[in-house]
């Protein structure tokens, strides 16, 4: 059995970005495990109608693999997936990828100082393990009474069944988050009746999307500096927007805009009231759409805010006793964001399971390292999601840190790196301190940013600049080291 230097799990932005940066540094001795048949992560799995990015494409892409050919300001899923495929081909990553290799368990082998990785197609070993398994990768299926007894067609938005024809059907959608507001306007045009079950209304503002003209694309292609300037402009504007989450009074202006957006598109005052959030803007993800509200105002749509009591074989019953017959049930219920499934598969020193270490809520150093897990790096670990800008910026910073760690290991004959508990505690103290006055703490909502203990462990509370300053340097004294004998 040959020992690989590095094993990466996942082929989304995290896994692909890491692989590209390794190659750019001349490191070829790595392997990538992907459970699916192809690359793309989020953008491979989410194919629901209308699936698109909420961040401008010039920023939601790698700084080291710019794409001058984006056709829209905010790209749709097929174009982002195509971009990731192009990255894989351009940097010749395919020979490194093992498709349909699900990592079932990875265990730190103390005696040999490597990771023993049990995949669905055999055992591999690697000195360093990098998990790019995504925070929004595993669909959350709600535990609603009777859901298992439902006899109609059922699907999660992240596993869209394109074979099933929604035309002429009575369809229930549970959830009104980021995915729901994208596909609801699309399916409303097809279905006979749409019942939208809403627990909490979202703040929705207009989507300022537009086509990028051929001339603009030619210019960005021929004069690359133009694209860099556009990226910088978006970066700075979004960093400025990020201030609003830390100084929530700024968000009042956004609330005024959102109220106007509801009133302009919906005339029914009862529906207006149902769609007006009762918490402060920004506490949950702010959504952008021009066609969501108009779709909800259509005759074949009913927005239901009564709690679901039970799902029956062909219907949904709410607490007010109303039963609505349905043919299809679409779960737009999000993902296992803070209880990441990969944590149940990683065993560090003394067989410690990462999910056991995280029983009191997920914590890490820089969203990357966890004590007791040597030579293990997470990308998009705890406290790395964003509310205001592109997550790809976070991913790039974390990759930078990991590359520096690998370089340090190689140049100092280090066999294992393990983050110190004090360093992790210090980092989480800083995060919690910064989180205190943000809208996520004070906005009066429950959101997927909170874990089961109530701690906000999904989102990063400050700017990208702050994240970069904290994460990109490699501080070797924060790690315990052992050297090759
Ligand atoms: C619908 C949707 C829209 C989004 N829009 C935005 C947006 O507008 N802006 C933004 O910044 N972010 C957005 N996000 C967040 C998005 O998830 C991240 O931006 C980014 O794509 C995460 O990339 P990743 O590589 O970390 O994870 P993923 O893209 O989730 O990739 C993880 C990969 O790991 C693989 N994997 C997982 N477990 C295993 C295992 N055990 N063995 C082998 N392989 C495994 C998966 O199959 C997958 O390919 C969106 C997310 C969703 C779901």
β partners of residue 312: 315
Q: For residues 205 and 242, what is the distance between their CA atoms, to the nearest angstrom?
A: 16
17 CA: nearest ligand 1 atom = 25
Give the number of C-alpha atoms closer than 13 A to the C-alpha of residue 41, restricted to the C-beta side. 23
pLDDT, residue 337, reads 79
389 CA: nearest ligand 1 atom = 11
53 CA: nearest ligand 1 atom = 8
Nearest of 202, 198, 226 to residue 212 by alpha carbon: 226
Place of tokens 């997550």: 391
| pLDDT digit string, tens, across residues 149-189 | 999 999 999 999 999 999 999 999 999 999 999 999 999 99
102 CA: nearest ligand 1 atom = 42
14 CA: nearest ligand 1 atom = 25
| pLDDT digit string, tens, across residues 14-26 | 999 999 999 999 9
12 CA: nearest ligand 1 atom = 25
| pLDDT at 38 > cutoff 90 | yes
Give the number of C-alpha atoms closer than 13 A to the C-alpha of residue 115, restricted to the C-beta side. 31
Task: Tell which one of 17, 31, 42, 105 to mutate to probe ligand 1, the residue whose CB is within 8 A of the most ligand atoms.
Answer: 42
Place of tokens 């349905």: 326
| pLDDT digit string, tens, across residues 417-476 | 999 999 999 999 999 999 999 999 999 998 989 998 999 999 999 999 999 999 999 999
Tokens of 41: 């992560």
- Pairing mode, if any, of strands 376-378 and 122-131? parallel
Pocket lining for ligand 1, CB < 6 angstroms: 9-15, 33-36, 41-42, 46, 51, 53-55, 60, 102-103, 132-134, 136-137, 178-179, 342, 345, 379-380, 390-391
| pLDDT at 339 > cutoff 90 | no
CA 220 to chain centroid, in Å, comes to 28
Do the Cβ atoms of 125 and 4 come closer than 8 Å?
Answer: yes
Which residue puts its alpha carbon closest to atom 6 of ligand 1?
A: 53
Do the Cβ atoms of 154 and 263 come closer than 8 Å?
Answer: no
Which residue puts its alpha carbon closest to atom 52 of ligand 1?
A: 42
How many angstroms is it from 174 CA to the middle of ligand 1?
A: 22
| pLDDT digit string, tens, across residues 189-206 | 999 999 999 999 999 999
β partners of residue 31: 7
Which residue puts its alpha carbon closest to atom 32 of ligand 1?
A: 133
How many angstroms is it from 413 CA to the middle of ligand 1?
A: 34
1 — pLDDT class (breaks 50, 70, 90): low
Which residue puts its alpha carbon closest to atom 19 of ligand 1?
A: 391
How many angstroms is it from 483 CA to the middle of ligand 1?
A: 35
Do the Cβ atoms of 151 and 315 come closer than 8 Å?
Answer: no
Give the number of C-alpha atoms closer than 13 A to the C-alpha of residue 382, restricted to the C-beta side. 25
135 — pLDDT class (breaks 50, 70, 90): confident
Q: Is 415 exposed, middle or buried (0-12, 13-18, 19+ CB in 10 A)?
A: middle
pLDDT, residue 361, reads 93
Do you know the residue count of the chain?
485
Output the average pLDDT for the chain.
96
| pLDDT at 360 > cutoff 60 | yes
11 CA: nearest ligand 1 atom = 49
pLDDT, residue 115, reads 98
Kindly state the average pLDDT of the residues 299-324. 98
| pLDDT at 3 > cutoff 90 | no
Kindly state the average pLDDT of the residues 374-390. 97
Residues 6+ apart with CB under 8 A from 26: none
380 CA: nearest ligand 1 atom = 26
Task: Tell which one of 134, 183, 367 to mutate to probe ligand 1, the residue whose CB is within 8 A of the most ligand atoms.
Answer: 134
Kindly state the average pLDDT of the residues 405-413. 95
Kindly state the average pLDDT of the residues 265-279. 96
Which residue puts its alpha carbon closest to atom 33 of ligand 1?
A: 10
Which residue puts its alpha carbon closest to atom 21 of ligand 1?
A: 42
How many angstroms is it from 99 CA to the middle of ligand 1?
A: 16
């Amino acid at each position: 059995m040959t020992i690989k230097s590095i094993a990466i799990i996942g082929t989304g932005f995290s896994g692909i970005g890491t692989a590209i940066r390794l190659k750019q540094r001349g490191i070829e001795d790595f392997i990538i495990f992907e459970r699916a048949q192809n690359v793309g992560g989020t953008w491979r799995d989410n194919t629901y109608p209308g699936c698109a990015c909420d961040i401008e494409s010039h920023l939601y892409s790698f700084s080291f693999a710019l794409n001058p050919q984006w056709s829209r300001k905010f790209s749709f899923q097929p174009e982002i997936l195509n971009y990731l495929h192009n990255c894989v081909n351009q940097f010749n990553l395919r020979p490194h990828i093992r498709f349909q290799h699900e990592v079932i368990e990875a265990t730190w082998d103390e005696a040999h100082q490597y990771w023993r990785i049990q995949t669905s197609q055999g055992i591999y070993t690697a000195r360093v393990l990098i998990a790019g398994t995504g925070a929004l990768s595993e669909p959350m299926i709600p535990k609603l009474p009777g859901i298992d007894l439902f006899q109609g067609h059922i699907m999660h938005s992240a596993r869209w069944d394109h074979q099933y024809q929604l035309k002429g059907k009575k369809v229930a959608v549970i959830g009104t988050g980021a995915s729901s507001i994208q596909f609801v306007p699309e399916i409303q045009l097809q279905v006979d009746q749409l019942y939208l079950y809403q627990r909490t209304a979202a703040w929705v503002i207009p989507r300022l999307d537009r086509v990028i003209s051929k001339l603009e694309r030619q210019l960005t292609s021929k004069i690359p500096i133009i694209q860099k300037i556009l990226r910088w402009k978006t970066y700075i504007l979004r960093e400025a927007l990020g201030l609003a989450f830390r100084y929530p009074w700024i968000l009042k202006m956004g609330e005024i805009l959102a109220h106007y957006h509801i009133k302009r598109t919906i005339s029914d005052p009862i529906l207006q009231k149902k769609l007006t959030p009762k918490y402060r803007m920004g506490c949950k993800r702010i959504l952008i759409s021009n066609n969501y509200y108009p779709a909800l105002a259509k005759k074949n749509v009913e927005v239901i805010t009564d709690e679901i009591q039970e799902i029956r074989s062909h219907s949904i019953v709410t607490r007010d006793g109303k039963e609505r017959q349905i043919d299809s049930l679409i779960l737009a219920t999000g993902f296992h964001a803070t209880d990441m499934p990969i944590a149940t598969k990683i065993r560090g020193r003394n067989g410690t399971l990462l999910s056991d270490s995280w029983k009191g809520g997920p914590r890490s150093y820089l969203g990357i390292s966890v004590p007791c897990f040597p030579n293990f790096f997470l990308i998009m670990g705890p406290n790395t999601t964003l509310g205001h800008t592109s997550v790809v910026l976070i991913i790039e910073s974390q990759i930078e840190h990991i590359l520096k760690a690998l370089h340090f290991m190689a140049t100092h004959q280090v066999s294992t790196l393990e983050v110190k508990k004090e360093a992790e505690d210090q980092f989480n103290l800083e995060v919690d301190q910064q989180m205190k006055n943000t809208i996520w703490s004070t906005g009066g909502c429950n959101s997927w940013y909170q874990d089961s203990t109530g701690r906000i462990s999904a989102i990063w509370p400050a700017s990208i600049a702050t994240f970069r300053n904290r994460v990109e340097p490699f501080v070797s004294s924060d790690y315990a080291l052992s050297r090759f004998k």
